């Protein structure tokens, strides 16, 4: 999508969650992308290099009076949840610490206050999306008690400092978008265009996780099938690549995609990958 509009495609390594970082993981990611002719533009950015920027944004929000410390643990929130929030990426929060916490309490996170106002944005695939953040999870975390910055704040700052104008990602991150736009508004940062893609699922309709059919340079279980996988991915996204590309290499398939990709053809529903054309 970026290339078809004459734009750049940027690579960022989200390496803030230090305990989950495995040695060689970043190199494996980049090698895998290159094997599929997915070449990024410019330098690779790393979240671990942006800590000062996150800190500046955090203190800007703090000075605005929209942040407060929270002493609730994930266990506390799970036990207090009155109803599940299917498809969301955070535990619902009822504002237990909104009015202050005991000075002896352990601060487990910092949360941003949300409002009852509906926040709307236009998704390139799904159209107009509206969310009431107060009813969709409530006040959310921007920094953990151990000092680590949370995903929602980090990606907003990342997109700003690298000049991102279009964010293309999976439907599983759709619930996060309104929260990120809310932070962009508070921080006076421009709002990118968003497009959320349908998810590939397994035979029972469940979203595939990183453990399922993992594509990794280190594992190499797809060697010799790179072009076939790219072709299937384009078909899954409704792009109808011509039969003449069956058996073609990744570079040729990517060049066709860069010229012909049409967001209007992306299907509303996900599902299993289509069977290959023989």
- What digits encode the pLDDT tens for the residues 133-142? 999 899 999 9
- Do 222 and 187 reside in the same domain of the chain? no
When pLDDT is averaged across residues 186-215 and rounded to a whole number, the result is: 84
| Structural domain containing residue 77 | 63-197
Q: Between these two residues, 196 and 215, which has the higher pLDDT value?
A: 196
Decide if 270 is inside a domain: no
How does pLDDT run across 5-34, given as a tens digit for each residue?
Answer: 899 999 999 888 766 667 788 899 999 999
Find, among 228, 230, 248, 247, the residue nearest to 239 by Cα: 230
Q: Tokens 């290959």 identify what position?
A: 276
In this structure, are residues 227 and 248 in contact, taking their beta carbons and an 8 Å threshold? Answer: yes
Check residue 212 and report its DSSP letter: S
CA atoms in the 13 A half-sphere facing the CB of 20: 4
- Do 130 and 166 reside in the same domain of the chain? yes
CB atoms within 10 A of CB 214: 13
Q: Which of 159, 180, 197 is the C-terminal boundary of a domain?
A: 197
Residue 21: helix, strand or coil by DSSP? coil
């Amino acid at each position: 999508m970026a290339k078809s509009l004459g734009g750049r495609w940027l690579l960022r390594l989200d390496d803030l969650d230090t305990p989950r970082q495995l040695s060689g993981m970043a190199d494996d990611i980049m090698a895998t992308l290159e094997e599929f002719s997915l070449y990024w533009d410019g330098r690779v950015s790393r979240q671990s290099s942006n800590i000062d920027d996150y800190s500046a944004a955090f203190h800007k929000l703090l000075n605005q009076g929209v942040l407060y410390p929270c002493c609730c643990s994930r266990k506390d929130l799970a036990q207090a949840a009155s109803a599940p929030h299917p498809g969301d990426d955070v535990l619902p929060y009822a504002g237990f610490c909104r009015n202050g916490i005991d000075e002896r309490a352990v601060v487990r996170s910092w949360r941003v206050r949300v409002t009852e106002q509906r926040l709307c944005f236009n998704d390139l695939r799904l159209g107009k999306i509206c969310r009431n953040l107060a009813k969709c999870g409530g006040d959310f975390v921007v920094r953990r008690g151990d000092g680590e910055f949370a995903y929602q704040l980090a990606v907003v700052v990342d997109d700003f400092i690298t000049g991102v104008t279009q964010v293309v990602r999976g439907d599983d991150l759709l619930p996060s978008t309104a929260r990120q736009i809310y932070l962009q508004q508070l921080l006076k940062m421009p709002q990118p265009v968003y497009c959320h893609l349908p998810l590939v699922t397994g035979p029972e309709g469940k979203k595939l996780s990183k453990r399922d059919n993992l594509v990794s340079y280190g594992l190499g279980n797809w060697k010799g099938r790179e072009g076939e996988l790219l072709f299937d991915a384009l078909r899954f996204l409704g792009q109808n690549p011509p039969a003449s590309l069956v058996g073609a290499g990744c570079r040729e398939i990517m060049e066709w995609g860069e010229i012909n990709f049409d967001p209007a053809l992306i299907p509303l529903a996900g599902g299993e990958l289509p069977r290959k054309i023989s």
